[in-house]
Structure formats: C-alpha cells, structure tokens
Amino acid sequence: MKALRVRALLLAAVFAANGGMSRAANQSSDTGRTPVLLELFTSEGCSSCPPIDAWAARLDQFQPVARGQLILLSEHVDYWDHDGWKDPFSSSQLTERQSEYEHALGQNNVYTPQVIVDGDREVFPWKTDEAKANLDKAALAETMAVKIDGVALAGGELTGKVEADGSSGKHGDVFVAVALEKTQTDVLGGENNGKKLTNVGVVKALVKIGKVEKGKSFDQDFKVKLWPDADPGNLRVVAFVQEPGPGKVLGAALTKEIAKGGK
C-alpha cells in the first residue's frame, strides 16, 4: 500500500489557516456545542504529516468553530513503517479503518495526512476557506446525544459507560476510542529523521461496544484493556455512533475525566 505524498507549501498554508485562533480560544464550556469528530490519519514516518498534525492540534486546543466542539483522534497508520522509521503508535487496525473510508468515499488510494470529518467528508487543511466552511457546516448538523459516564482506570483496565439517544430513528455502531492526550517522539530514522514530533489525541485503542437500534436508547458499560502504567492524566476517551460502512458519525462525546483506582 503506497501513500500519496502531499508535498511543499503545506506549512505556510496550514498556519495561514490558523489565523485568529489565539483570539478565538475556547474559554467556556462545550455545553451546547455540536460535537464534530475529526479523524486524522497520519504517521511519524511521513514528512508531510507534521504540519497537518500541528494544524489539528491547534484546532483541538483553540476550538475556533463557534458552534462546534472539535474532537480530534490522531490515527497512526502502519504503511510507512518500512521506510526507515517504525511509528510506535502505528496500527494495522487503523490502516484498515482508513482503507474502509477509501472504499466508502470512492477514492482510489490511501494517503497521509488525511482528515475525515464526521465520517462522511474529507477536509483539506491547505484549502483554508473550504476547510473552514466544512467545519462550520458540520457544527450546524443535528446529532445524536451521546454521553460518557463513570470512566475509571485501574490495573491497566479502563471502564465506564456510554449512553446514546436512539429516538431519532437512526441506527449505528457504537465505538469507544482511548487516546493519549499528548505524545512526543525523537524520530531517529525515515523522512522525519532528527525531528522531535508532537501529536495530540493519539489513538491507542478503538473498540466497538454495541449498536444503537432505531427508536431505542443505548446504555452499556465498557471495558478496555490498556497497559499497566497508563496515566489517566494523559488520556482522553471518545465515544461515537457511526452508520455502518463506515458512514456518517451520528453523534460523539469526549471526556478527560478519568478516575484512578477504578470501580
């Protein structure tokens, strides 16, 4: 599987897209904002990825979409791992997820960096006006209410509960993603050799926990096996409901409130 490389001029365009973000920093609660799921397919082995990683991190931090709560998941693929640097966060599962999007969106091949918004549209960060318009549009959509409760970490197991309101008549698969809030890597090979890379919302686990049926509410506990020394202070948990396909994301929620010690 070969990645298409998005080359030069990304850096200037990406940071031009961030104009005014510092002034739009989200200083209030996300209550009342529409959750918008951003899936960034990326790799530490791809030289075109760091500018888009930085763009996504700034969106995540400053929340510049007035009516939207941008929820970022950085999904590291593994098809760059044979080009001189093995990404420690890469996953064949996430590569397969990107391939499923390729077919669902009618594309001919996968590439990094790629940004998928709410499961049904691609956003190109270097097309600044178009990207902003797509994010603004996503923030105006009606979404399914999703809630995450009682998240706790003990003995390398993350537990909690997800609720979703299926009264809208739509149905979809329910996923829980566990991600590292922030990572830093000194890259010692490949296209980014010698660079210190920072990523946000790096997916470590993605599990399907059930389905929302039409007209029915969803209320289910979940358990995700992590690693023994997992730090609850550096984790985010995202739950989302997605039409099969993969298709449109119907609703999503994020929490960083993780109790240590567990149930």
Report the CATH number that the domain containing residue 218 is assigned in CATH: 2.60.40.2060
* Structural domain count of the chain: 1
pLDDT of residue 252: 98
- The predicted structure's pLDDT at residue 31: 62
- Confidence (pLDDT) at 261: 76
Q: Which residue carries 């995700």 as its tokens?
A: 224
Radius of gyration of the chain (CA): 18
Residues in the chain: 263
User: Which residue is listed with tokens 């996503």?
Assistant: 138
- 21 confidence band (pLDDT: 50, 70, 90): very low
In angstroms, rounded to a whole number, what is the distance separating the alpha carbons of residues 59 and 256?
Answer: 17
Pick from 14-18, 41-45, 215-219: least confident: 14-18
User: If you average pLDDT over residues 204-219, what whole number do you get?
Assistant: 96
**C-alpha closest to that of 56 among 165, 201, 157:** 201
Q: Would you list the DSSP string of the chain?
A: --PEE--TTHHHHHHHTTTTTGGG---S--TTPEEEEEEEEE-TT-TTHHHHHHHHHHHHHH---TTEEEEEEEEE-STTTTTT---TT--HHHHHHHHHHHHHTT-S--EESEEEETTTEEE-TTSHHHHHHHHHHHTTS----EEEEEEEEETTEEEEEEEE--TTS--EEEEEEEEEEEEEEE--SGGGTT-EEEEEEEEEEEEEEEEEPTT--EEEEEEEE--TT--GGGEEEEEEEE-TTT--EEEEEEE---EES--
pLDDT of residue 168: 82
Does the pLDDT of residue 210 top 70, yes or no? yes
**Mean pLDDT (whole number) for 121-142:** 96
Q: Give strand pairing partners of 7.
A: none
| Per-residue confidence (pLDDT) for residue 83, from 0 to 100 | 94
Residue 44: CB atoms within 10 A of its CB come to: 26
Domain interval for residue 39: 4-260
Q: What is the pLDDT of residue 169?
A: 84
pLDDT band at 32 (very low <50, low <70, confident <90, very high): confident
Neighbour count for residue 13 (Cβ, 10 Å) = 17
Q: Is the pLDDT of residue 130 over 90?
A: yes
pLDDT of residue 15: 41
Which residues, including other chains, have CB under 8 Å from residue 96's CB and lie 6 or more apart? none
Comparing 15-19, 132-136, 192-196, which segment has the lowest mean pLDDT? 15-19
Across the range 90-113, mean pLDDT stands at 96
Give the C-alpha separation, 166 to 217, whole Å: 5
